[in-house]
Structure 1
Amino acid sequence: MIQLKNVSLLRGVKVLISAANMQWHPGHRIGLTGANGAGKSSLFAMLRGELHADVGDVDIPLDWVVAHVAQETPALSTSALEFVLDGDEELRQLEQRLAVAEAAHDGALVGELHGHLAEIDGYAARSRAASLLDGLGFSQADMSRAVSEFSGGWRVRLNLGRALMCRSDLLLLDEPTNHLDLDAVIWLEGWLRDYRGTLLLISHDRDFLDAIVNHIAHIEQQQLTLYRGGYSDFERQRSARLAQQQSLYERQERQRAHLQKYIDRFRVQATKARQAQSRIKALERMETVSAAHIDSPFSFSFLPLLGVSDPLLVLDQVATGYADKTVLQQLMLTMRPGERLGLLGRNGAGKSTLIKLLAGELPMLAGKRTEGKELRIGYFAQHQLEQLRPDESPLQHMQRLDPLTREQEHRNYLGGFDFNGDMVISPCAPFSGGEKSRLALALLIWTKPNLLLLDEPTNHLDLEMRHALTLALQQYEGAVVLVSHDRALLRATCDRFMLVSDGSAQPFDGDLDDYRDWLATQRQAEVVKAASPARQERAASKAERQTRLAERRPLIKQIERVEAQLARHQQEKSQLDAQLADPALYQNSDKQALTALLKRQAELAERIEADELDWLTLHEQLEALPAID
């Protein structure tokens, strides 16, 4: 196990962690959280042996193999597959020794080394490396390409694959989902759940943390505290501790009131019903998470829109692509004010291409595009961070964008994005990726767009900023098109999804759980193509079963919702029946109150009857589907 004994860690004269005492055991999967600058990366460096504790001792078993993701990747001529295989150092050493022994015709040593290779599953190493690369989004052709041919984001994936290839006792992952799309994140999630060593994970993706970790180590006010459970469990525990602070209640009530106002205003309008339902879900969740974010430095909202057209944008049988290559065709899309659209699809399917088309950065190759008279597009993508002027401060960027607004208003606005003090007037060249992303978002929001196009907006953003962005998007009155690997943001923001696949974009009738199942089916189909006839038959059977499960899932979910609703109505009616059966009620109650109770009793009887009819109909539909073996 790993032991921290009275460990203090400093950066210069600043104390990051003070007198930490903690034990991490094999099988612990620990999420390391804390504000930017709290000391998470420094703690990682200490565990890697690159930093030493200023006070205290860190005990890691001497025979433990520690794996981490390298920050840089040289432009090597080595193939992607061989580069990932290099992550298993013991395998490579055995291969080298085996080559020397074979050249020397040392039969005894050759036999011994082959035995050792079998012990470490060395003969399946290439298959494991290929599987890692496939899960991270690399094609079969990519695996033989030289490392130098890949862009920066893909080299990050190669480094991640190399770290996973290492048969480690301790795995240190710092923001592993950056530069990954949703299908790669889902695959990595499954891989890490099966990891048998000790995992220490820095991530700002709450769903990712919840799915993987069983402990949270949180750095706050120089203290390192260990919490049991996932990230949501941590939020609940921390919020309970903070619940005594009066400011928490005041701030949470303001946020609740804002969402409730939206719900009350729009829940009765058919065109706004889905958005209102989204806000209702957000309001329910806010009760459990807002408390844990009470000390967030971020607080901002979208500015009132200048004008809105309905529809904002219409695509009719549109095709688009690059040069002479068509990527997407027969696109049909209408964006109206208040709509929230999430784009799903595997890596390379064309999600970013569709966003660029909507933004006007890619030409139409066919079809018709109709823009509303008041359309104002706000487009955020990672490449736009490069358009920030490195020699200018956040304040200068704001003044260049809007020279007529007073400086103090710009400062107040930037403060909501945590640009305060000297930082607001400092050149942005040395800013971190997260700080540059916050500045780009601030500039975008100031333009008051009524159609937001967001392509991976949470890359480099920490949990607090993601939380603030989620709240702001829930209150935003314009339309949103979102591509993100952050499922918490997708769930809280999007009312509908489109699946980008096979050169088109079609409405996706399902949620993110259904999309995960769709991905599994796609992967299984690919395995079938590459498998032997016997394996093809088994894989096809499994794929068919997955398809049948996917068909049944929406009905099962509807049945569960109806059953829960029926139980609530029956409980309320039982209580009302008992109340109306009391003779004293008719003697003491006024006629108006009694009439209201009788009316509610009749309403509940009708609703129960309707619920029961819905339940029967759904079960008939479920029974009509093919059975699952």
Structure 2
Amino acid sequence: MLLSAKSLGLTIGQLLFSDLSFTLNPGDILGLIAANGRGKSSLLRCLAGQAEPTAGEITRARGATIALAEQDPSDLGATFRDTVLQGLADPEGEFWRADILLDELEVPQGFRDLPLGQLSGGWQRTALLARAAVSEPSVLLLDEPTNHLDLSRIALLQRWLKGRTVIVASHDRAFLDAVTTRSLFLRASESRLFALPYTPARLALAEADAARDRQHSNDLAKADQLRRQAAKLKNIGINSGSDLLVVKTKQLKERAEKIEAEARPAHREGSAGAIKLNPTGSHAKALVSLMDAEIRGEKPLYRTGTLWIEPGDRVVILGANGTGKSRLVARVLAAIQAPDPSIKVTPSLVLGHSGQGLEQLPPKSTPFDLVMAHRTGDGPARSLLAEAGIRTDMQTKPLGLLSGGQRARLAMLLLRLTAPNFYLLDEPTNHLDIEGQEALEAELLKPQAACLLVSHDRAFVRVVGNRFWEIRGKKLVEVDGPEAFFAAQTG
């Protein structure tokens, strides 16, 4: 045993979890699963010794060390290498450890001396992972490690984690299935632990909850039957004056009350915020037509050939990192906003756009102002925001104070109010919990929805996509499905 939690509980404004007990043994990779705002990051900080639980105790094996890789860097001015060196007790004497690890994680030499602020979100995550891992801790705690990583980096991380002892909080279903050996579903009460990867563990959880529901219904039915028997005996006892029947009536009522008190319904997970879109149809034959457009970065990247998107098409762009997926999204966005002879857009197109960094949300605006811009009334605006998981006290505060999950849900709400017939989405599942991802999938699968999207979330792509465009060399080509690309990227 390297780490154990006993009867752990945490309340921060609200009860996040209680009576949580588990142990972590060498080689375990434990997936930590819960909706946004339900205490995953807080639990990791408690396990790392950075915060104190409200109740219970955490025991670490003698000599065991624990390191936490958080989601976001606090110092964007520090270089990649200096960030990693912060994880060493003696950075000057042990600098070689950092170089070895950066080689293992395949960090390009040219990135190592750049400030984190000049690097992508994926490389920032890699720097925080390396800082936590460089001292070779006994237990590594990871908070959403795959956010902003492309498939090749996710595959490298999956290989690198093998043989290590890890607790990982993640909403990436394919990643959890690939790396975890155990799954902990964190709940306010009665958290559930399974010695299974995510998908089979979730099926086991659903079966356990269904069995609990059946037992609860049976218990209530039995209690009701006992009460009806007690009522009959009471009437007979009153009419006959039998003390024995009065005692029997009391016993039946007490048994019914005990059964009712002990009967527990299955867990009902409260939503972190609803995601509902409002896709509208179009009578246009093609919403967007690519007429052999040239996609460029600092130099030409590829040509699109002749392709088009019709109503009902859900097109996924596949390509390695840096090949120009987001540049195609940006080019289509620009063509919707101003004429482009190489990308034709039907005049009836109504756009719903969400960028990778949610850059369409002005950071100084408030959620209330953004919703009110769609001409909703004061009351409806507040109701819509509450439904999307944004509390009343946060609705009139700057967006920068919202969590990533809240901002993602706000972005989806604004798409809903736009009522588009074409969605342009770049990494839309970033920051969404599994419940949110599945809700977004269901909305995009509605018959009216059409979209062009980029995503590194394999589970999301497999569910949503019905057409696939892959960047191969200097060309964009249509392929039958994503699996060959996934296999090539993940090795």
Question: So what's the TM-score if we normalise by structure 1?
Answer: 0.62
Aligned residues: 437
**Structure 1 residue aligned with 2:175:** 208
Q: Give a deviation string over 1:147-177, Cα, whole Å, max 9, x none.
A: 5643555333322233344422101000011
With over 3 angstroms needed to count, the CA separation of the structure-2 counterparts of 1:164 and 1:417, relative to structure 1, is: same
Equivalent in 159, 168, 179 of residue 190 of structure 1: 159
8 Å Cα contact 1:320/1:363 also seen in 2: no
8 Å Cα contact 1:175/1:204 also seen in 2: yes
Shift of 1:476: 4.8
8 Å Cα contact 2:295/2:324 also seen in 1: no
Shift of 1:29: 0.9
Which whole-Å CA distance do the structure 1 matches of 2:424 and 2:116 have between them?
32
Which whole-Å CA distance do the structure 2 matches of 1:419 and 1:9 have between them?
22
8 Å Cα contact 2:86/2:131 also seen in 1: yes
Matches of residues 26-425 of structure 1 in structure 2 within 5 Å? 26-70=26-70, 71-72=72-73, 74=75, 80=80, 84=84, 87=87, 95=94, 126=99, 128-132=101-105, 134=106, 138-143=107-112, 145=114, 147=116, 149-150=118-119, 154-192=123-161, 194=162, 196-243=163-210, 295-305=270-280, 307-322=282-297, 325-360=299-334, 368-385=342-359, 387-388=361-362, 390-394=364-368, 396-401=369-374, 403=375, 405-407=376-378, 409-411=380-382, 413-419=384-390, 421-424=392-395
Which whole-Å CA distance do the structure 2 matches of 1:457 and 1:407 have between them?
28
Matches of residues 479-518 of structure 1 in structure 2 within 5 Å? 479-512=450-483, 514-518=484-488
SS in 2 for 1:373: coil
**Structure 2 residue aligned with 1:262:** none
Matches of residues 456-467 of structure 1 in structure 2 within 5 Å? 456-467=427-438
SS in 1 for 2:462: helix
Q: Give a deviation string over 1:38-79, Cα, whole Å, max 9, x none.
A: 22222111111112233332111231232222542535675x
With over 3 angstroms needed to count, the CA separation of the structure-2 counterparts of 1:342 and 1:418, relative to structure 1, is: same
- Report the identity percentage: 30
SS in 2 for 1:52: coil
8 Å Cα contact 1:317/1:366 also seen in 2: no
Which whole-Å CA distance do the structure 2 matches of 1:219 and 1:494 have between them?
30
With over 3 angstroms needed to count, the CA separation of the structure-2 counterparts of 1:57 and 1:371, relative to structure 1, is: closer
Q: Give a deviation string over 1:512-540, Cα, whole Å, max 9, x none.
A: 3x22332267xxxxxxxxxxxxxxxxxxx
SS in 1 for 2:141: strand
Q: Give a deviation string over 1:400-457, Cα, whole Å, max 9, x none.
A: 12x2x45555455445423465555555442111111111121122212222111011
Which whole-Å CA distance do the structure 1 matches of 2:485 and 2:133 have between them?
25
SS in 2 for 1:382: coil
With over 3 angstroms needed to count, the CA separation of the structure-2 counterparts of 1:69 and 1:21, relative to structure 1, is: closer
Structure 2 counterpart of 1:131, which letter? E
Shift of 1:131: 3.3
Which whole-Å CA distance do the structure 1 matches of 2:438 and 2:293 have between them?
35
Which whole-Å CA distance do the structure 2 matches of 1:215 and 1:460 have between them?
23
With over 3 angstroms needed to count, the CA separation of the structure-2 counterparts of 1:473 and 1:304, relative to structure 1, is: closer
8 Å Cα contact 2:32/2:169 also seen in 1: yes
Pick the structure with more helix per residue.
1
Structure 1 counterpart of 2:145, which letter? P
Query: Does residue 472 of the first structure (1) align with residue 446 of the second (2)?
Result: no
Shift of 1:37: 3.0
Which whole-Å CA distance do the structure 1 matches of 2:186 and 2:94 have between them?
43
8 Å Cα contact 1:499/1:506 also seen in 2: yes
8 Å Cα contact 1:297/1:418 also seen in 2: yes
Shift of 1:475: 1.2
Which whole-Å CA distance do the structure 2 matches of 1:316 and 1:386 have between them?
27
Larger radius of gyration: 1
Which whole-Å CA distance do the structure 2 matches of 1:200 and 1:425 have between them?
36
Which whole-Å CA distance do the structure 1 matches of 2:455 and 2:274 have between them?
22
Q: Which runs of 5+ in 1 are unaligned?
A: 97-121, 247-290, 522-629
Question: So what's the TM-score if we normalise by structure 2?
Answer: 0.78
Q: Larger RCO: Structure 1 or Structure 2 (Cα < 8 Å, ≥ 6 residues apart)?
A: 2
SS in 1 for 2:431: coil
With over 3 angstroms needed to count, the CA separation of the structure-2 counterparts of 1:3 and 1:454, relative to structure 1, is: same
Which whole-Å CA distance do the structure 2 matches of 1:520 and 1:452 have between them?
28
Deviates more, 1:325-334 or 1:60-69: 325-334
Structure 1 counterpart of 2:198, which letter? Y
Which whole-Å CA distance do the structure 2 matches of 1:467 and 1:296 have between them?
12
With over 3 angstroms needed to count, the CA separation of the structure-2 counterparts of 1:415 and 1:172, relative to structure 1, is: same
SS in 2 for 1:387: coil
8 Å Cα contact 1:318/1:364 also seen in 2: no
**Structure 1 residue aligned with 2:7:** 6
Matches of residues 530-549 of structure 1 in structure 2 within 5 Å? none
Structure 1 counterpart of 2:175, which letter? F
Shift of 1:139: 3.8
Which whole-Å CA distance do the structure 2 matches of 1:160 and 1:301 have between them?
34
With over 3 angstroms needed to count, the CA separation of the structure-2 counterparts of 1:339 and 1:486, relative to structure 1, is: same
Cα RMSD (Å) of the superposition?
3.3
Matches of residues 500-579 of structure 1 in structure 2 within 5 Å? 500-512=471-483, 514-519=484-489
